[in-house]
Amino acid sequence: MASVTSRRNRSLCSAVTVICMFHLLGSCFSNSVERKIYISLNTTASCVRLLNATHQIGCQSSMNGDTGVIHVVEKVEDLQWVLEDGPNPPYMVLLNGELFTRDTMLKLKGASRLTGIAVVRSKPNPHADFSKDVLCPNDGFGIYSTSYGPEYAHCNQTIWNPFGDGLSYEDFQFPIFLINDENETQVIKQCYEDHNIPANGSVLQYPLCALQLFSHMHAVTNTVTCMRRSSIQNTFSLNPEAVCDPLVDYNVWSTLRPVNTSGQLDPEEKIVVVASRLDSRSFFWDMAPGANSAVSGFVTQIAAAEALQKLPDSQKLPRNIMFAFFQGETFDYIGSSRMVYDMQKGKFPIGLNNIHSFLELSQVALRNTSTLWLHTDPISQRNNSVMTEVKALVGILLKASENTNVTLQEVDQSKPIPPSSFQRFLKAQNIPGVVLTDHQGAFQNRYYQSIYDTAENIQLHYPAGLGPEEQMDYVTNTAEALTEVATVVARGLYKLAGGSDASSIIKADPKTVSRMLYGFLVKSNNSWFQSIVNTDYMKPDSILENKAPQYYVSVNSPARPTSLVRFVLANLTGTVVNFTKEECQNPKDSSNPEKHLYEYLWVPGSFGNSTTRTPFCVRTVAHLSKAVSPAFDLNDWGSTEYSTWTESRWKEIRARIFLVASHELEVITLVVGVTILIVSLLATYFINAKADILFTSTRDPGAVAY
Ligand SMILES: *[C@@H]1O[C@H](CO)[C@@H](O)[C@H](O)[C@H]1NC(C)=O
Ligand SMILES: *[C@@H]1O[C@H](CO)[C@@H](O)[C@H](O)[C@H]1NC(C)=O
Ligand SMILES: *[C@@H]1O[C@H](CO)[C@@H](O)[C@H](O)[C@H]1NC(C)=O
Ligand SMILES: *[C@@H]1O[C@H](CO)[C@@H](O)[C@H](O)[C@H]1NC(C)=O
Ligand SMILES: *[C@@H]1O[C@H](CO)[C@@H](O)[C@H](O)[C@H]1NC(C)=O
Ligand SMILES: *[C@@H]1O[C@H](CO)[C@@H](O)[C@H](O)[C@H]1NC(C)=O
Ligand SMILES: *[C@@H]1O[C@H](CO)[C@@H](O)[C@H](O)[C@H]1NC(C)=O
Ligand SMILES: *[C@@H]1O[C@H](CO)[C@@H](O)[C@H](O)[C@H]1NC(C)=O
Ligand SMILES: *[C@@H]1O[C@H](CO)[C@@H](O)[C@H](O)[C@H]1NC(C)=O
Ligand SMILES: *[C@@H]1O[C@H](CO)[C@@H](O)[C@H](O)[C@H]1NC(C)=O
């Protein structure tokens, strides 16, 4: 015992000696250390690494971050400095947002004098088209392949996203960040101007302004590799340290008439499915405004659901209607492929055989001359009975648009359907279906899957001088237009569900469309969302933000948009019931005969005229269902049938700027540091070796091991 204590004392003492020596010697060089005043950048977004069965894409920094002298690149010619002329490599490029193109990035990709890129957000949106997605989104996971319509495979007939430069699916070996905020851009530029621009003709003086980016990624190679590693760790270690996680979330689905979620629908019962997607992406992590690519479709769908629910005969229609909102569609159809899989395995209350027809709302906000396009699949219509049903479906929709400001037009029958969730259903069963879009051929959306697919992209503008509440209720032209589309969709669905002809009374509500657009594209922390977000499910503050939600699917579920859509659906199509809080939260315990049909949400309620909220219970048919790619349930990480996308884990993502001393000074500092280390190691060794002389302690001869 005594020996252990004395050893401990001894090493403590030598540690103190080392620290003292460091301190003494270090004080000579404190100048260069003090000059390193760090300013952290607080509004950045980073590109991260994602992996699929065969590839890794995205970016990463080295383990301890990458540092370089800042060089501002405003025009292509400025690159010359970074690539060849500049005397102080390595460089970090502060890149003008308009230059964030494939051409520039390919020039920079192999450059040894470059350690990273910070892209400045363009404001207003760039003049040029800007889509970092590929020309043929979700290629290989839709229906067209060598065995089904090979003439349409790989976008042979229609390049859907002609503006896509594919950068989001490239692999970069250096960090790339987005500087989102103009003021931070200004801070960086100021630092650059103050330190990195030589006064006319003179030589650059140290210290220089440098940028440091941290985004080291743990996973490498592909999903097969990283999941195998994660699973080994899971099996053999008590403290699993996974390196990547599958992209997962939940789909939201509801029905016009409740269905028994504990059972299976009678095979004879037919149901009309209307679907849209909930997610989007961009080059940068968790930056996915998705205004046209996701929000336009699902907002229209919710508005149609509300319009139908209000009808007096909504519960008596011959066919039920299902509203499906799919998550993770961007990443090779995670949500829809899972629902189809569950339907095939009988793990979903509705089966594929129950589906009467399918209507998908894709991008619908950018209407050119008020026209929306109906896309149908040419191959499935080679079957005559299916062709007849598709014709009937198209006829009903065309009729529903009569006497409205929406012109529906059928796309040439020889054209394939655009990338859509419907393709996954069609793959499993020949279902008559239509995809509704604002584009006839290539996308109208110039900013598909980019950071600029924002409210601005779909012309959602408010008059100056309105407060938040007034903006929320202000009916913009965009809201007006989407309301019209929702009206047409609701009328068409009503007819498809076997409703009578008096469908002209069906009207979507421009007020709710306006409120949804505000909540989903401008600010989710608004009075309406505050009053409908279930308190127990999740702390309201954690899903409401003073900005627009982002629609990246991510790995933590449920994602904000998923919950928000569910709560909005519950509010617009649900019923207030007089349950107590306990009854509302534990409906399964009660003898309530309807517990298989509904879900119950305890919501905060609005203030009304009082100073406190009056919470109440809402009964809803809005459910969540898993949106996990079947590849991960099957442990088939190399699947080519199902999505295999995973997101790498990381320790930290951050960016900061500071002044660096010259290389020579840094080398001197390093040499001195190493010298101190060696000296102190020698000192420690010496002290340890001569400890008996230096420290007189009683030694226990028996205790050798410690
Ligand atoms: C970021 O936040 C930190 C701490 O609040 C602050 O010191 C720093 O100045 C901020 N960065 C910028 C660029 O404003
Ligand atoms: C994985 O992603 C890469 C990059 O987008 C793509 O080239 C490749 O085909 C994908 N692999 C599979 C199996 O889908
Ligand atoms: C940027 O700075 C200006 C002036 O300091 C301030 O008014 C503005 O709100 C800031 N913008 C942001 C986005 O922080
Ligand atoms: C160039 O240097 C001279 C003298 O140092 C100074 O007066 C002048 O303002 C400088 N010009 C610019 C453009 O900085
Ligand atoms: C729903 O299905 C479950 C299981 O099949 C059954 O026990 C229950 O009675 C059904 N509820 C209703 C309302 O039909
Ligand atoms: C056409 O499709 C229907 C329904 O999917 C199916 O029952 C029928 O067998 C198909 N006919 C042919 C000729 O494939
Ligand atoms: C949301 O807004 C309320 C005021 O309406 C505010 O008190 C609250 O802090 C905000 N929540 C978040 C997360 O910003
Ligand atoms: C929906 O929200 C509004 C505003 O908070 C509220 O007045 C209404 O009662 C809610 N309806 C349902 C069914 O929750
Ligand atoms: C709810 O309302 C029904 C009828 O409107 C009434 O019979 C019942 O007692 C009420 N339940 C509670 C908990 O107030
Ligand atoms: C709130 O007050 C206004 C006028 O003061 C009244 O018309 C309205 O009915 C009140 N609303 C509620 C929910 O009490």
Burial of 663 (0-12, 13-18, 19+ CB in 10 A): exposed
Model confidence at 577: pLDDT above 50: yes
Which of the listed residues 254, 532, 618 should we mutate to test ligand 8's pocket, taking the one with most ligand atoms within 8 A of CB? 532
Could you give the dihedral angle defined by the CA atoms of residues 195, 200, 202 and 203, in that order, rounded to the nearest 10 degrees?
40
Report the pLDDT value the prediction gives residue 15, as an integer from 0 to 100: 44
For the ranges 66-70, 332-336, 498-502, 515-519, which has the lowest average pLDDT?
Answer: 498-502
Angstrom distance (rounded) from CA 445 to CA 363:
8
Are 298 and 323 in contact by the 8 Å Cβ rule? The answer is: no
Name the percent of the chain lying above pLDDT 70: 89
**Given the CA of residue 610, which atom of ligand 10 is nearest to it?**
14
The pLDDT value recorded for residue 326 is 98
Give, as one character, the DSSP assignment of residue 352: G
Q: 124 preceded by cis ω (within 30°)? A: yes
Would you call 458 exposed, middle or buried from its count of C-beta atoms within 10 A (0-12, 13-18, 19+)?
buried
Residue whose C-alpha is closest to residue 231's, from 53, 223, 705: 223
Choose which residue among 357, 377, 383 to substitute to test ligand 6 binding: the one with the highest number of ligand atoms within 8 A of its C-beta. 383
**Ligand index nearest the alpha carbon of residue 610:** 10
Measured from the alpha carbon of residue 202, the closest ligand is 4
Cα–Cα distance, 165 to 168 (Å, whole number): 8
Is residue 2's pLDDT more than 60? no
pLDDT value at residue 698? 47
Dig out the tokens for 630 from the structure: 């079947």
Alpha helix positions (H), 350-421: 384-400
CA–centroid distance, 608 to ligand 10, in Å, is 7
Whether the full predicted model's pTM is greater than 0.95, yes or no, is no
> Can you tell me the mean pLDDT for 62-84?
94
Structure tokens, 239: 């403290």
| pLDDT of 3 higher than 70 | no
Q: Is residue 25's pLDDT more than 90?
A: no
Closest ligand (CA of 184): 1
pLDDT surpassing 80 at residue 29: no
Closest ligand relative to 200 C-alpha: 4
Give the integer Cα–Cα distance in Å for 678 and 686: 12
Does residue 606 line the site of ligand 8, with CB under 6 A?
Answer: yes
Between 7 and 378, name the one with better pLDDT.
378
Using the 8-state DSSP alphabet, how is residue 222 labeled? -
pLDDT band at 68 (very low <50, low <70, confident <90, very high): very high
H-helix or E-strand spanning residue 252? strand 249-255
Contact criterion met (CB below 8 Å) for 288 and 549: no
d(CA 49, CA 60): 7
Label the pairing between strands 575-577 and 616-620.
Answer: antiparallel
Rounded Cα distance, 278 and 622, in Å: 15
Distances (CA, A) of 417 to 110, 143, 325, 437: 38, 9, 19, 10
Q: Whose CA is closest to atom 6 on ligand 2?
A: 55
**Sheet with strand 44-46: strands edge to edge:** 39-41, 654-660, 208-214, 66-73, 91-95, 114-120, 176-179, 44-46
Using CA atoms, how far residue 512 sits from 481, 508, 528, in Å, is 13, 8, 10
What's 84's DSSP letter? I
Ligand lying closest to the C-alpha of residue 575: 8
Task: Say how far apart CA 4 and CA 699 lie, in whole Å.
Answer: 10
Query: Residue 649 CA to chain centroid, in angstroms?
Result: 15
Closest CA to 474 of 515, 506, 434: 515
Instruction: Tell me the mean pLDDT in the region 268-288.
Output: 97
CA distance 288 to 271: 32
Q: Is 179 in the pocket of ligand 1 (CB under 6 A)?
A: no
Pocket test for ligand 2, best of 49, 50, 52 (most atoms within 8 A of CB): 52
Query: Could you tell me if the CB of 580 is within 6 A of ligand 4?
Result: no
Confidence class of residue 598 from pLDDT cuts 50, 70 and 90?
very high
- Whether the pLDDT of residue 423 is over 50: the answer is yes
Overall average pLDDT of the 401-420 stretch:
94
Beta bridge mates, 271: 320, 355
Closest atom of ligand 2 relative to the 332 alpha carbon: 14
Which residue among 255, 257, 596 is best mutated to probe the pocket of ligand 5, counting the most ligand atoms within 8 A of its Cβ? 596
User: Average pLDDT over the chain, rounded to whole?
Assistant: 89
**Could you tell me if the CB of 525 is within 6 A of ligand 7?**
yes
- 2-26 vs 663-689: helix axis angle to the nearest 10? 150
Angle at the Cα of 59 from the Cα atoms of 56 and 60, rounded to 5 degrees? 110
Q: Is the CB of 202 under 6 A from ligand 4?
A: no
Who contacts 290 (Cβ-Cβ below 8 Å, separation ≥6)?
279, 280, 449, 453, 551
3-state secondary structure of 136: coil
- Closest atom of ligand 9 to 577 CA is 1
Residue 438 has what DSSP assignment? S
Q: Nearest residue CA, atom 5 of ligand 5?
A: 263
Q: Which atom of ligand 10 is nearest to the CA of 609?
A: 1
Q: What is the pLDDT of residue 34?
A: 41
Element (H, E) at 115: strand 114-120
Identify whether the C-beta of residue 393 lies closer than 8 Å to the C-beta of residue 496.
Answer: yes
Model confidence at 256: pLDDT above 90: yes
Distance 609 CA to ligand 10 centre (A): 6
